Structure 1
Amino acid sequence: MRILIEEYQYNAADVKDILHGIDALENVEGKVSIHYVGYYYNVLLKDCVFILPKVLLKDVDGKELVFAKYKPENIANLDENNPLNSVERDFLYKFAVWIYRAIVVYKNDKRSDTEIVYYSQIAQVGNGRRRLSNTYLDILLSLIQFNKDNQNFFFTIVKNMHSGLNKINWMRTIGTTNAIIQDGQPIYLNPINKKRQINFDEELLIIFFSILNYIGDAYGFPKQISCQYQLITGQRFETYLNGFGKTRLRQIKYKYFSDKALQLWQLCFAFFDEARQVYITTEKREYLLVKSFYVVFEAIIDELVGDNPLPDGMEKKQEDGKIVDHLFTAQSLIDSEAKQTYYIGDSKYYKMGHELGSESVYKQYTYARNVIQCNLDIFNDGEQTSSGVKLRDDVTEGYNIIPNFFISAKLNENLDYSDDGIKETDRENKRHKKFQFKNRLFDRDTLLLFHYDVNFLFVLSLYARDNATQKAEWKEKVRNKFRKEIQEWLQKDYDFYAMRARPGVNGEEFIKHNFKEVVGKIYTPFKDEKTYSLALDNKDPEGNNEAIKTMLSEFFYVEPCRLGQNPEDVLPATAAVTAVSPTDNDLALCVTKEGVHFDNAVAKMKQTGKLGIALNMNGATLQLVEGFTAAKYLIIHNKSNKYAAFFVDGKGPRLISANEMTDMVTTKKGASIYLVYNAELNVIPAFGELDFSPITKSGDSYSPHLLPIKILIKEKDIEAHKK
């Protein structure tokens, strides 16, 4: 067998004979490289040539080496001066099978670009001349082809073996067993059938079909086993692979005389021996090659990670002509329940250790921007996404985090196919972040990019086996792993909190009035849309993290909450908010505030629930106090009929001196005594629209006014309140 490595620069003179029949062009420096991966038969050398992926190459001190220790030209001819040890040699033989299987699966996928696949029929068993050497793949393909071409041979053997088995041998039955006489007639309870001897044809078929069953399970070749035998499987078949198969076949070798049976025996023995002594009929042009193998690698990763078709009607080819490799919806990084977000991936088929270029990073950011805009367009058109993903929150105008990642192929150092791990790359640049504004994680211009390596051997074998159940299981596992590891990285750079408005505080109104301070820092990712997530860069780039938390804590419960944690685990339970409607005789104490004083007064009232009316110690004012004690509602309003109403808890106001004052809303600073009301913050008055013109036109609009609530309710709402 001859081995070439994709895209390696060979000296043209060293590989001239090996490249016979392949359109590899020599450059001016006498170098030549092959841009194919796959298998072809070299009629000049009478040998097969495997072109293996460049992922086998690793840069060691400026030299590209296979397994980090062999020059590719030194392993070009494994039949002469083979430097590989037994493990490496066995790996290459079977690795070629996996490459073949992957190309076949890709070729048969209707979604694939089959124009890059070049195919002519693979070798078949026959009586033609012997190749110089035959590969493990040759043997497997020959076994499969023999099964396809010789169904009549199998059925003939089975028919001959079983003919006459149910015919009773009366001479032996009468002579050796006792009969029961009933109504003068003898009845034999244990008649003797034709005696069955060991049938070596049947044993050979059992071994053959057991081999087909094994390579179907191990490599994904299609199973076409038409005969119902008890096959050799599991641990027992392992003993055949470990030497017993060759031993048993040698014991029964001389029991066969037909050409077909001898040919079948040779194939089975070659499988267990992995020998290159099988007779093969070779086509003049025999090959299975794929050009631009990175396209196959993208198909492998997309099959094992991505969604097909893409979610929400998106296309791989975006509006600006860029083509996204992988896109799928999965659980959001923040929510612990069912909310989804998009995950965007790009496959990178490099030699081991190759660093990403700046162009690749920039393009990946562009993919994310395009996906964000596509999602916005759906909602801007008044429609909904089928996936349920909505990236922008209308209340906070924050954007959900979109995990954006690269996946590169990496060869497992132990040549282990079973290592199914996908982990953060050990390349120098593995995490990238791009932003417009500092400390705004929930911003459409804050884009995160991660880089992972995947064991090329594992994904190659999983794709080649084409087992739907195995692929689905790994897809779920790897998606969960992406989510968990990206969460862990973000939690190293950001502090996350869960927030919920305190009783009596309208969270949406607070966000609107303090939008500039909180935009990009809060988002509503949870099922309960009145529970917010707060993210603050722990490097505090703006130097105001503590000020933001202090401001928010006055009006919200703000508790540390890790990504994916249920906010109910950290937030205190809040009392249910009830609504009350006024009667005609209810009195409301109205206080006028304008501009920012109105906003600040409402916000503080919703936090403390306390309102202090400034009093002067004179007789006129003290008489007025008696009427104020009957107020059932407190209303803070401005002259444009904007207001906030509060329900008094019924305990009545208290007189408090200036020395006893706590932080509260007041009508005037510096008074000697205050009449202080305590509002019930978990009860919300249901007034609807109010008209404060009786106060604003009174000529003394800034003094507290005590009025029946029916005077303020507009006429159109009076009947509704009565009902």
Structure 2
Amino acid sequence: MYILIEGERYKLELLESLFTDPKFYKVNGLEATVTSVGYYHCFENNKLVFMLPKVFMRDGEKTVLDVTKDELVALAFGTSIKHKIEFNWVRQLSIYFYNSLLEYRKRCIDSKLINDSAAFDLNTNLQEKEYSFLDILLSIINFYKKNKQQILYKHIELTSRHLNKVKWERTIRKSLPIVIGVGTPVYQEPIAKKKLVDNEEELITYFFSIVSYLNSEYNLSIKFDPTYKIIKGRNFDLLCKNGLKKLKNIKYRYFSDVLIKMYKLCELYFSQFDQSNVKKKREDFLSISNYNIVFEDMIDKLFSDDLNDVEVDGISIDQLKNNDDGKIIDHIYSYESLIDTSDIFYIGDSKYYKSNSEAGKVSKYKQFTYAKNVIQFNIDLLNSNNANSIEKVRYRDSLTEGYNVSPNFFIYGYIDDIGNYNNPSIEQKGSVIRSFHFNDRLFDRDTLFVHQYKINFLYVLKAYTSHRDHNTQEFRRQAKQKFRDNFIEFFNDADRSGFTIYNFKHGKDKIEQFVNDNFRLLNGKCFLTNQNELVIAVYKEDKSIKDLVDNNFELKELN
């Protein structure tokens, strides 16, 4: 098996030896850059290739495994590099990674979540109900692991039943038993005068020979102690060519579910070598040239599984994701406001970079544009006849004309532990990004803050193909609460946010008069909550309202 990393350069000679088609890389002199992410198998040279996302690469020459991309190239299952790192993770990673591409293809076909132009970048020659070589390989190995004890026991039982006059003295002296149960020895090959032929042996011999070959060819680290004879070398090559014919001759011998499944797996494997099939492929592959779209869909599925069906107070999430100016928001969901008990839309952007990278200026400006579009969408609804439909989502207060704080976030994929698939490990990353027209106005539509987070890419990869809805729901609950708590902690710390929050202390009946009398001073600095509580945010360098605040407000902590 060969592991390449998207966006990295390799010797052209190497890539030409792995791929029969140059569509997976871009040539630059004697080197070439891998341009795709995905899976590839060539039937002619029997080479299996994974093109992993660039998140597996750190800045510089090292991968997330602390080895270079070149050391990672010719990596077989279960081997180690320089005897320092055990790579038992490779098979698990390949399964999750391959399944994630299948899930993306399924979501491309079954939903409108992904725009058509992105879907066209997913390349494959696998039809909807076709099996890839990797599908067959994994099915055979999983079947073997699940049923090997049953097959072994059945063989021993059948053999023992037809033995005549077992010579136990010679059997004990010349063979080693296996121990089952509580210390019970079982001899697999008792020595006797006469043995009847096991009619099931032929099929199981074929199956065990396939397992033995795959174990050896791809270093699958399977503990393999076969009872049946194994066909190897040139004889196995001949078996592959004539396997379908041999299977056809023994097709009606088997009735148990295990043996029927074994027969079908052997048939699938041998069908790859059938020269009579004119439609036989030279290769199978599943790849995409813009993996950021897949990563966005992974994160989106974590936060909102059915975006087209989600509505908040009559507002379709799909409407909010697809802006009138053509821009598409990566992630958006409704959750508790930072200021009161109303809801607000949290707006996120997936950042598909190498594990240690951060967003640049362009990404920051795009995020601010997304937020302003969502704010304007809600204000348009407020100004229309649909005002009652956005009762819970509250962006603007009509008394103060202040705007609710609109939370934004970037989310990056990263890998720290190659074996960690079960912990999202969401952590804050970098500094809080701020945009404003007036630096002393928190409740202004142009004052925006973006928090940055990193999330364990391997957790996202596994969760994307998981159908355990309870786990996904729990993740959403914890992640959304975490994002809100971190924003509140940020605004409760004046040294970090630059603002101190105060609460009006004279009672609700005096709020309207107070705001009207001091509107010029309070513009963009105060907000009336849905609980009729007037709050004011005082910027650290703003001296213009010091006396007004000292006389009328008291400190408030957000919660």
Q: TM-score, normalised by structure 2?
A: 0.71
Kept in 1: contact 2:511–2:534 (CA 8 A): no
Aligned to 1:520: 524
- Once the two structures are TM-superposed, the CA of residue 259 in structure 1 deviates from its matched residue by 4.4
Any idea what the Cα deviations from partners look like across 1:649-678, whole Å, max 9, x if unmatched?
A: xxxxxxxxxxxxxxxxxxxxxxxxxxxxxx
Q: Identify which range, 107-116 or 407-416, moves more after superposition.
A: 107-116
Q: Which amino acid aligns with 1:308?
A: L
C-alpha separation between the residues in 2 aligned to 1:485 and 1:420?
Answer: 17
Paired residue for 2:322, among 300, 309, 317?
317
Aligned to 1:200: 154
Aligned to 1:489: 490
- Once the two structures are TM-superposed, the CA of residue 10 in structure 1 deviates from its matched residue by 1.5
Aligned to 2:255: none
1:293 aligns with 2:295: no
Q: Which amino acid aligns with 1:445?
A: D
Aligned to 1:419: 423
Matching of residues 196-345 of structure 1 within 5 Å = 200=154, 257-262=200-205, 273-274=221-222, 280-281=269-270, 282=272, 283-306=281-304, 308-309=307-308, 311=311, 312-313=315-316, 314-335=319-340, 337=341, 339-345=342-348
Shift of the 351–199 alpha-carbon distance from structure 1 to 2, 3 Å rule, reads closer
Kept in 1: contact 2:333–2:345 (CA 8 A): yes
Paired residue for 1:66, among 63, 67, 84?
63
- Once the two structures are TM-superposed, the CA of residue 476 in structure 1 deviates from its matched residue by 1.2
1:46 aligns with 2:46: yes
Aligned to 1:440: 441
Q: Which amino acid aligns with 1:394?
A: S
Kept in 1: contact 2:26–2:34 (CA 8 A): no
**Does the residue aligned with 1:482 lie in a helix, a strand or coil?**
helix
C-alpha separation between the residues in 1 aligned to 2:534 and 2:344?
Answer: 17
- Once the two structures are TM-superposed, the CA of residue 501 in structure 1 deviates from its matched residue by 3.3
**Does the residue aligned with 2:7 lie in a helix, a strand or coil?**
coil
Matching of residues 574-589 of structure 1 within 5 Å = none
Q: Identify which range, 67-76 or 509-518, moves more after superposition.
A: 67-76
Q: Identify which range, 369-378 or 289-298, moves more after superposition.
A: 289-298
- Once the two structures are TM-superposed, the CA of residue 402 in structure 1 deviates from its matched residue by 0.8
Aligned to 1:510: 514
Matching of residues 656-671 of structure 1 within 5 Å = none
Aligned to 1:560: 555
Matching of residues 138-149 of structure 1 within 5 Å = 139-142=137-140
Aligned to 2:104: 106
Aligned to 1:534: 536
Aligned to 2:277: none
Higher radius of gyration, 1 or 2? 1
Kept in 1: contact 2:433–2:451 (CA 8 A): yes
C-alpha separation between the residues in 1 aligned to 2:506 and 2:119?
Answer: 58
Aligned to 1:349: 352
Give % identity: 26
Any idea what the Cα deviations from partners look like across 1:587-606, whole Å, max 9, x if unmatched?
A: xxxxxxxxxxxxxxxxxxxx
Aligned to 1:363: 366
Any idea what the Cα deviations from partners look like across 1:76-98, whole Å, max 9, x if unmatched?
A: 11259952658541112211111
C-alpha separation between the residues in 2 aligned to 1:449 and 1:68?
Answer: 30
Aligned to 1:374: 377
Q: Which amino acid aligns with 1:562?
A: E
Any idea what the Cα deviations from partners look like across 1:134-166, whole Å, max 9, x if unmatched?
A: 97x65423367999xxxxxxxxx9xxxxxxxxx
- Once the two structures are TM-superposed, the CA of residue 452 in structure 1 deviates from its matched residue by 0.7
Shift of the 497–42 alpha-carbon distance from structure 1 to 2, 3 Å rule, reads same
Higher fraction of helix:
2
C-alpha separation between the residues in 2 aligned to 1:145 and 1:65?
Answer: 37
- Once the two structures are TM-superposed, the CA of residue 120 in structure 1 deviates from its matched residue by 3.7
Aligned to 2:90: 92
**Does the residue aligned with 1:559 lie in a helix, a strand or coil?**
strand
Higher relative contact order by CA 8 Å / sep ≥ 6: 1 or 2?
2
Any idea what the Cα deviations from partners look like across 1:374-417, whole Å, max 9, x if unmatched?
A: 00000111213357212001011111111111111111245422
Structure 2 residue ranges without an equivalent (≥5)? 159-178, 191-197, 225-231, 233-264, 273-280
RMSD of aligned Cα (Å): 3.9
Aligned to 1:617: none
- Once the two structures are TM-superposed, the CA of residue 266 in structure 1 deviates from its matched residue by 6.8
Kept in 2: contact 1:330–1:340 (CA 8 A): yes
- Once the two structures are TM-superposed, the CA of residue 268 in structure 1 deviates from its matched residue by 8.3
Paired residue for 1:401, among 398, 401, 405?
405
1:55 aligns with 2:80: no
Shift of the 403–125 alpha-carbon distance from structure 1 to 2, 3 Å rule, reads closer
Alignment coverage as a number of residue pairs: 450
- Once the two structures are TM-superposed, the CA of residue 515 in structure 1 deviates from its matched residue by 0.5
Shift of the 350–499 alpha-carbon distance from structure 1 to 2, 3 Å rule, reads same
1:498 aligns with 2:503: yes
Q: TM-score, normalised by structure 1?
A: 0.56
Kept in 1: contact 2:502–2:537 (CA 8 A): yes
